Amino acid sequence: MASKLKKIILASKSVDRSWLLKQAGISFEVIATNIDEEEYKINISDPIELSKELAKAKALFAKNLLIKDDFDCAIIAADTIVELNGEIIGKAENEEHAFEILKKLIGKSHNLITGIAITDTITSKIIVDYDITSVEFLALSDKEIRGYIKTNEWKGRAGAYSIRDKASLFVNKINGSSSNVIGLPMQKLYKILKKEFNVNLFQRN
């Protein structure tokens, strides 16, 4: 069966996820999603299930916005959660919160869990999956942590850091997909698009 030429929609305002798709040479459009994440966090305590349900909700939100269009679209949504010894760590609210988060993570191994959901506008088929990457930081002084916070890379990032920027300097070890830490497990994404939606990203230009 010939691969389909679907329009790729990223259901996320994340600059990191957009960056990953652009780095892979993938043409896409962005649709911002607006779901009540706190409602899911109250009802779901397991970080894997939470990331998957949030990704699914974002994908379906974007799909509903496109329901009146005739385009054949593949919608990609994701949600990344940091987990440390069973504790779910979200995004920092301010600089002091970012310091508290990074202080917890420094010198320890923690998990980046990204739930992904892919659906399309023609069949409404939806595939939900996840990926886990273990990240270990070097030991940093309080002064170094506060110096990093001044870069503002913590803003909007799970765990208050981004390894595609200056945080790469203090990552000691990564076990798993590095793109997953940035926001999308690109290898798993490619496999799902190819196997489940018959989309070949190498035949799009």
Q: CA-CA distance, 181 to 163, in Å (whole number)?
A: 7
Measured distance CA(107)–CA(136) in Å, rounded: 7
| Measured distance CA(12)–CA(78) in Å, rounded | 7
Name the active-site residue from 69, 70, 72, 79. 79
Sign of CA dihedral 130, 182, 106, 156: negative
CA distance 12 to 58: 8
**Residue 46 among the catalytic residues:** no
- Tokens matching residue 27: 């043409």
The angle subtended at Cα 183 by Cα 182 and Cα 185, nearest 5°, is: 100
Known catalytic residues? 79
